[in-house]
Amino acid sequence: MSTVTTSEQSLLETIPNQLLIGGAWRDASGGATLAVEDPATGETLVQVADATPEDALAALAAADEAQAAWGQHPPRERGEVLRRAFEEMTARADELALLMTLEMGKNVAEARAEVLYAAEFLRWFSEEAVRIHGRYMTAASGVGRVLTMKQPVGPCLFVTPWNFPAAMGTRKIGPALAAGCTVVVKPAQQTPLSMLALAEILQRAGAPDGVVNVITSSSSSSVVKPLLEDPRLRKLSFTGSTEVGRALIAQAAPQVLRVSMELGGNAPFIVFGDADVDAAVEGAILAKMRNIGEACTAANRLYVHESIAGEFAGKLAERLAAMTVGRGTDDDSAIGPLIDDKQRQKVAELVQDAADKGAKILTGGSPVDGAGYFFEPTVLTDVPESADLLDEEIFGPVAPVIPFSSEDEVVASANRTEYGLVAYLFTNDLQRALRVCERLQTGMIGLNTGIVSNAQAPFGGVKQSGFGREGGFEGIEEYLETKYVAVAL
Ligand code: NAP
Ligand code: MG
C-alpha cells in the first residue's frame, strides 16, 4: 500500500510535470518520462518529462530569442516579476515545503525554512535590479572621459543539485533575471518538482515567454553538453560536486564560456578551549545536522580543543541520540532519509573505515532497517587523521570529533584539504577569532555560529570549492558584463 496520503497526492497533481520551453509546457520529444521517488519509502511519487538533447536545444533557442527584449525590459519591471514570485513563494511556503520533503526527504520544518530562504533571493535581487550602474570619470589627463556600462551576459544555463532543490535555483535565477539574462534550468533528476513549481510561479509572476525555461532529464550529460557547445549560450552556473564541476569547466573551455562554480566542501568546525561549550554544541548541531548532513556547508570535521573535547563530544552525542529519525512529513521527524541507497552506502563505508582505523562510535553508526534510506545520527571520537571521512564530504548525519592542542596545529589541519568553502570557528577571544579568520583558506566563515546562509551575503568558495559568489551585492555581477567606452570630448 502506498504511503502517500490523499492530500500529498492532490498536491503532487497540481505541480507541472512537463518541460517549460518558450512559455509552453510540453512533453519531451519522444514522450519519455522519468520517475521521481520519495527517499523515505522508495516509492515513485510521479513521472516528469525526460528531455532529449533536441529539447535542450529548443530551450536554448527560446532563451536566445527572448534575450534581447528581456535585457531591455525596464529594470523596475524585471524586479517586480521577481518580487511577485517572492510573494507567491512565501504565501505558499507550506505546500512548497511539503513538496520538497516528498521529493528530497528533509523534514517539513527544514523544507519550509529552505522555501523562505530561497524566496529571499528573489526579493533581494528584485531590489538589486534597479541598482545596476556604471561610471563616468574624467580621465587623469583631463581631456577624455571614462564611461562604463553594465550589460546582461546573455542566455545562461543553470545546473543544480538535489540537496537544496529550491534555493540552489533562486540563487541563480534571481540575479540572472534581475540583470536581464534569460535562463535554461536543469534541476537534479531526483528533485525536479520544486523547480517545476518555481518555474510556474515565475511564469505567473510575469516572466515573459522564453525568459525561464526548465528541462528535466535522466541523462544530464546528454542535455548539458550540446548547450555548452552552442555559441548562443553565454554563461554556465553550476552547483554540485567538484568532480562534475571540473568536467563542466573542461567542456566550457572550447567556447571560453563564462562559468560560476559552487562545488563541494569539507568544512572544519573549530572549537577553542575558551568557547562556550553549550553554544558550540548548538552550533555543531546546526552545522552538521541541517539537511540531514547533506549540505556543501556541513561541518565535516569537528576539531575541539583537548581540554573540552570529551565534554563536547558527550553533549553532542546525547543530543544526537535523542533525535527522531523518520519520514520528513512526521511531526516529530528531526532527521529524514538520505537521498538514495548509494549515498547511504557511502556514509556507512566512511563510518566503518574510521572505526577500523580506531575511531570510537559514541552514538549511532548504522543504517536504519526498513523502507527508505535512513541512517542513525552518529558521533565518532578519537578519529585518526588517516580516516577517509576527514578527506571526503560525508554528506550524512555523522559528526567526527578530533581533539587538538594548539592554534597552529588546528589551522594547519583545517586547511589540509583541496576544498575551501566554509569553516566554523567558536571562541570568545576576539584577537584569536580575527587571527584565525584571516588564516583559514575558505570563502566563508561562521564565527560563533553554525549557519552562514543569508541572501544578503556573498556565498561561495575558494580552492576546489569553486569560484563566483551567489547572493549579496556580488551576486548580480556574475550576470553582468562591463563595457568600457573611451570618450574623446
Ligand atoms: P552532482 O552529482 O555533481 O550533480 C549536480 C547536478 O549536475 C545535477 O543536476 C546532476 O544531474 C548534474 N550532472 C551530473 N553529472 C553531470 C554531467 N556529466 N554533465 C552535466 N550535468 C551533470 O552533485 P549532487 O550529488 O547532486 O549534489 C551534491 C554536491 O553538490 C556536493 O558535492 C555538494 O557539496 C555540492 N553542493 C555545493 C553547493 C555550493 O554552493 N557550493 C551547494 C549545494 C551542493 P543528475 O541529477 O541527473 O545527476
Ligand atoms: Mg548526483
Domain boundaries, the chain: 6-264+465-485, 267-418+422-454
Give the contacts of 476 (CB within 8 A, at least 6 positions apart): 125, 128, 132, 175, 178, 179
Pairing type for strands 145-152 and 480-487 reads: antiparallel
Q: Closest Cα partner for 62 from 199, 193, 192?
A: 199
- List the catalytic residues: 262, 296
| Predicted pLDDT of residue 388 | 98
Take atom 22 of ligand 1 and give the residue whose Cα is closest. 220
Q: Give dist(CA 82, CA 122) in Å, integer.
A: 5
Q: Give dist(CA 77, CA 67) in Å, integer.
A: 15
pLDDT tops 90 at residue 320: yes
CB contact at 8 A, 454 and 156: no
User: What is the position in ligand 1's atom list of the atom closest to the CA of 242?
Assistant: 32
| Predicted pLDDT of residue 1 | 61
Q: Give dist(CA 127, CA 112) in Å, integer.
A: 23
Please tell me whether the overall predicted TM-score, pTM, comes out greater than 0.85 for this model.
yes
| Predicted pLDDT of residue 435 | 98
Cell numbers 509552453 label which residue?
A: 24
Take atom 18 of ligand 1 and give the residue whose Cα is closest. 221
Take atom 48 of ligand 1 and give the residue whose Cα is closest. 188
Superfamily, domain 6-264+465-485? Aldehyde Dehydrogenase; Chain A, domain 1 (3.40.605.10)
| Structure confidence by residue, pLDDT tens digits, 200-233 | 999 999 999 999 999 999 999 999 999 999 999 9
| Structure confidence by residue, pLDDT tens digits, 299-318 | 999 999 999 999 999 999 99
Distance 192 CA to ligand 2 centre (A): 13
| Structure confidence by residue, pLDDT tens digits, 437-488 | 999 999 999 999 999 999 999 999 999 999 999 999 999 999 999 999 999 9
Distance 362 CA to ligand 1 centre (A): 32
Q: Give dist(CA 214, CA 23) in Å, integer.
A: 10
CB contact at 8 A, 137 and 477: no
Q: Closest Cα partner for 319 from 389, 266, 267, 397?
A: 397
The rounded percent of the chain whose pLDDT value lies above 90 is: 99
User: What is the position in ligand 1's atom list of the atom closest to the CA of 421?
Assistant: 41
Q: How confident is the model at residue 2 (pLDDT cuts 50, 70, 90)?
A: confident
| Structure confidence by residue, pLDDT tens digits, 119-169 | 999 999 999 999 999 999 999 999 999 999 999 999 999 999 999 999 999
Q: Closest Cα partner for 315 from 276, 348, 346?
A: 276
Q: Give dist(CA 183, CA 199) in Å, integer.
A: 11
Q: Closest Cα partner for 382 from 399, 360, 357?
A: 360
| Structure confidence by residue, pLDDT tens digits, 397-432 | 999 999 999 999 999 999 999 999 999 999 999 999
The bound ligand whose nearest atom lies closest to the alpha carbon of 443 is 1
CB contact at 8 A, 18 and 27: yes
Take atom 45 of ligand 1 and give the residue whose Cα is closest. 188
Q: Closest Cα partner for 260 from 243, 281, 235?
A: 235
Take atom 13 of ligand 1 and give the residue whose Cα is closest. 220
Helix H or strand E segment including 212: strand 212-214
With the most atoms of ligand 1 within 8 angstroms of its CB, the residue from 194, 262, 296, 464 to mutate is 296
Q: How confident is the model at residue 197 (pLDDT cuts 50, 70, 90)?
A: very high
Q: Give dist(CA 329, CA 423) in Å, integer.
A: 31
User: What is the position in ligand 1's atom list of the atom closest to the CA of 466?
Assistant: 41
Distance 262 CA to ligand 1 centre (A): 9
Residues with C-beta less than 6 Å from any ligand 1 atom: 159-164, 168, 186, 188-190, 220-221, 224, 239-241, 244, 247, 262-265, 296, 393, 421, 461, 466
Take atom 17 of ligand 1 and give the residue whose Cα is closest. 221
Distance 112 CA to ligand 1 centre (A): 22
Give the contacts of 338 (CB within 8 A, at least 6 positions apart): 39, 105, 292, 294, 344, 347, 373, 374, 375, 395, 396
SS3 335: strand
Q: Give dist(CA 40, CA 328) in Å, integer.
A: 8
Distance 462 CA to ligand 2 centre (A): 22
Region 188-206: mean pLDDT is: 98
Q: Closest Cα partner for 354 from 397, 391, 318?
A: 391
Distance 285 CA to ligand 2 centre (A): 25
With the most atoms of ligand 1 within 8 angstroms of its CB, the residue from 50, 106, 114, 159 to mutate is 159
Helical packing angle, 108-128 and 75-91, nearest 10°: 170
Region 381-386: mean pLDDT is: 94
Q: How far is CA 53 from CA 18, 58, 216, 217, 367, in A?
A: 15, 9, 11, 9, 38
Take atom 10 of ligand 1 and give the residue whose Cα is closest. 188
Radius of gyration of the chain (CA): 23
pLDDT tops 90 at residue 30: yes
Q: How far is CA 94 from CA 8, 70, 98, 100, 329, in A?
A: 12, 31, 6, 10, 12
* Amino acid found at 176: A
Please enumerate, as own/partner, the contacts of 437-446 that have beta carbons within 8 Å and a separation of 24 or more: 439/411, 439/415, 440/268, 440/411, 440/414, 440/415, 441/415, 442/267, 443/469, 444/297, 446/283, 446/287, 446/422
CATH 1.10.3720.10, domain 267-418+422-454, yes or no: no
* Amino acid found at 375: F
Q: How confident is the model at residue 188 (pLDDT cuts 50, 70, 90)?
A: very high
- Asked, colleague to colleague, whether 6-264+465-485 and 267-418+422-454 share their fold, the answer is no
Q: Give dist(CA 56, CA 236) in Å, integer.
A: 14
C-alpha cell at 54: 533536441
Q: Closest Cα partner for 367 from 358, 376, 359?
A: 376
Evaluated on CA atoms 6, 12, 113, 77, the torsion sign reads: negative
Distance 434 CA to ligand 1 centre (A): 33
